């Protein structure tokens, strides 16, 4: 049975059908996102029981704007990287009695209405990690610029080769996690390789990963959005280190 909400049916009632009385926490890593963090927070509040923003050492008004929305704001004194922000969100979620943690980016590219779709498989015990894929459904409505899509294909291929996974969108920052995965995932990188490291760790731990189709937009984004070239290079360097770290194990076999 599909757990996805049909287009046009994303309402509070449909979310209630999907999630029941589950306690869903939404975490938002943010760095210099004063232009988008406010609208992002307001958008997710409709679908979350609690919202947590990690301001990763921003030099703008990211924290002040998020605090005006009456959500929990955790601040890094200096910019440490997305991986470090995710680890802070994981640590916070472990201290709460949540049934699912949903992560999404602060730049406005993700549709908050997709939160129930991602959280439902976790709440119902069908998956430990759910990745919101921009490419799982028919790509007729895919707004990803061609140069970004090409880079994503390369990163998906390399991540799948290193981790042994078979996924359509390994770099999506829109994900849901079970309480068990919050305890068992081992995240070490501070940087943009965190999405790939999540997959590698989940695979190594025998956790269940699935994907759900999501919407994403790139036109008229108010947020900063990370430079795609720098992002790609950072992920590739991390995957190379990850492969090197794994190599002695394969050689022993």
pLDDT one-digit tens code per residue, 227-245 = 777 777 888 888 888 887 7
**Domain total for the chain?**
1
**3 in any annotated domain:** no
With 50 as the cut, is the pLDDT of residue 52 above it?
yes
With 90 as the cut, is the pLDDT of residue 140 above it?
no
**198 in any annotated domain:** yes
Answer yes or no: are the C-beta atoms of 235 and 192 closer than 8 Å: yes
Give the residue among 93, 94, 95 at the shortest CA–CA distance from 103. Answer: 93
**140 in any annotated domain:** yes
The boundaries of the domain holding residue 110 are 12-246
**174 in any annotated domain:** yes
**42 in any annotated domain:** yes
CATH number of residue 201's parent domain: 3.90.550.10
**7 in any annotated domain:** no
* 250 — pLDDT class (breaks 50, 70, 90): very low
Q: What pTM does this model have? A: 0.84
Task: Give the largest Cα separation in the chain, rounded.
Answer: 55
Which pLDDT value is given to residue 139?
58
| Among 16-25, 45-54, 146-155, the range of highest mean pLDDT | 45-54
* 144 — pLDDT class (breaks 50, 70, 90): low
Edge-to-edge order in the sheet of strand 209-213: 72-76, 50-56, 24-30, 100-103, 175-177, 129-133, 209-213
With 60 as the cut, is the pLDDT of residue 10 above it?
no
* 141 — pLDDT class (breaks 50, 70, 90): low
**221 in any annotated domain:** yes
With 80 as the cut, is the pLDDT of residue 204 above it?
yes
**47 in any annotated domain:** yes
């Amino acid at each position: 049975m599909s757990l996805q909400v049909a287009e046009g049916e994303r309402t509070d009632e449909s979310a209630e059908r999907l999630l029941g009385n589950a306690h869903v926490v939404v975490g938002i890593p943010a760095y210099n996102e004063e232009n988008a963090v406010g609208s992002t927070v307001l958008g997710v509040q409709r679908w979350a029981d609690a919202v947590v923003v990690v301001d990763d050492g921003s030099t703008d008004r990211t924290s002040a704007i998020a605090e005006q929305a009456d959500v929990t704001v955790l601040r890094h004194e200096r910019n440490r990287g997305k991986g470090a922000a995710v680890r802070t969100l994981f640590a916070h979620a472990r201290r709460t009695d949540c049934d699912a943690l949903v992560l999404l980016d602060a730049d406005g590219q993700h549709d908050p209405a997709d939160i129930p779709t991602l959280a439902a498989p976790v709440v119902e015990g069908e998956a430990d990690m759910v990745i919101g894929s921009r490419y799982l459904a028919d790509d007729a409505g895919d707004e990803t610029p061609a140069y970004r899509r090409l880079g994503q294909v390369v990163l998906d291929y390399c991540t799948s080769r290193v981790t042994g996974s078979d996924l359509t969108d390994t770099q999506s920052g829109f994900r849901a996690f079970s309480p068990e995965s919050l305890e068992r995932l081992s995240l070490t990188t501070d940087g943009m390789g965190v999405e790939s490291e999540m997959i590698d760790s989940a695979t190594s731990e025998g956790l269940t990963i699935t994907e759900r189709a999501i919407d994403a937009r790139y036109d008229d984004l108010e947020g900063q959005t990370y430079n795609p070239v720098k992002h790609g290079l950072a992920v590739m360097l991390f995957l190379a280190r990850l492969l090197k770290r794994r190599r002695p194990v394969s050689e022993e076999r």
